[in-house]
Each structure stands twice: as structure tokens, then as C-alpha cells.
Amino acid sequence: MQPIFRDSCSPCHIGRATSGVELTDHRAVLASVGEQFGKPIVSPYGYAESPLWRKIARLSPPHGLRCPRERPALSRAEIDLIARWIDDGALPAVVSPARGDVDRDGDLDVTDPILILQYLFLGGARPYCLSVADADASGPVDVTDAVYLLLHLFAGGPAPPEMTAEEKTACASASFSRFEPACLSCHGTPLKENSHPGAGTLTRADILRILKAPIVK
């Protein structure tokens, strides 16, 4: 989003905070609390509740004037792009799809297999692209994908195979999963006891049992 902000929101909000809003970088955007709305300007996973979107999309926002004030209004495509970015979690950057990177943070860690297991057994969010969750490249998404990632992370197992060009193209065009805020609290710390609002929770003991279980193809 930074190219849009730099082109349209300078000098008022680039390099300085005007009315509590600074758009210089991702950290500044998420830390900004607008003085007019009295709340953070971005509400991840809810573009319509985000003051930032309201100020650029509405001719008559609830507070103040439409932005930018002294530059041309953003195009519909730019406004829609910002709305999708917010609705997809207001992530710092769009990370290229990679097999196993279910949370699309650019890294493989324990959260990725946990999200697969939550999806398969606890009614968790569907992965934004099933090819990404197919960690062992076998085709279907099942428990062996979570086990494959856990063995890679903790037992020296092989890394997930590279995605094909077709898979990358399909996943790049897929919208990132919109995890509910109630689920983010436990997905962010997936090993916490009794933290999931659903039917159960995954504990460290569960992961140890999974690591010791044989992989049945």
C-alpha cells in the first residue's frame, strides 16, 4: 500500500503525523489513532469499520473531509485494493505463495501445521489456497501434511517441495483467509491450553503424539 500512500498522502501524512495519522510505513499506519475518529485508523479484517477507508472512499465521511484533500481522489481500483488489504488482515506485505506457508507470513513455523490441524479437526478456517496447505505435495490436504511440516521443523525432515508455476499463479490470485478475531488469539499462540473457542485445543502433548505417530499413506 505504501506507493499509494506516498503518491496521494504526502506531505500531510508521510514523515509526520497529521491529526494523529502517519502513513510513512506499515508500522506507522497500524499505530495511528485518528484524532477525529478517536480509534485506530485500520481495523484488520474489517475495512468498512476502518477510518482510513471511510476517509478515502466516502464523499462525506463521518468526520472531517474526504482525503486526500489537495490531490486527486483515489481511483476506485486503489480504494478497492486498500479495502481488500484491510479485509485480508492489513498484513505488512503480500508474501508470494509457498508450500507449507499456510498463514502467509513468509516463513515456516509451528503455526502453519497448527492451522492445518485446526482446519481438519476443529472447524478452523479453510486455508486461503489448498495447494499451500498440501505440504507433502500429495494432492489432498490431510493430517500427513501437518505431520510433514512438524517433522521438517522439529525432526530434520525434508522441506516442502516447490510449488508448480500453475499452483503459484492460482494461489497468488486467491484471497487470503479472513480468520475471525476470536480465532486469531489462539492461532497467534497456538499451543496455549484451553484457548480455542471451538470444540477443543491443540497442546504440546498433542504435537508430541503426532510426531511419534507413523505416517500412513
b/e burial code for range 92-104 (CB count within 10 A of at least 16 → b): eeeeebbbbbbbb
Report which of residues 54 and 198 the model is more confident about.
54
What pLDDT is stored for residue 25 in this prediction?
86
What is the reported pLDDT for 53?
94
pLDDT in tens, 186-200: 333 333 333 333 334
Cα atoms in the 13 Å half-sphere on the side-chain side of 77: 1
pTM over 0.85: no
pLDDT at 18 over 60: yes
Q: Are 25 and 92 in contact (CB under 8 A)?
A: no
Domain segments of the chain as ranges: 2-87, 111-212
Residue 192: the pLDDT is 34
Locate 126 and state its grid cell.
479453510
pLDDT at 207: 64
Q: What's the whole-number mean pLDDT along residues 93-119?
A: 87
Segment 76-101 mean pLDDT: 87
Q: Are 132 and 171 in contact (CB under 8 A)?
A: yes
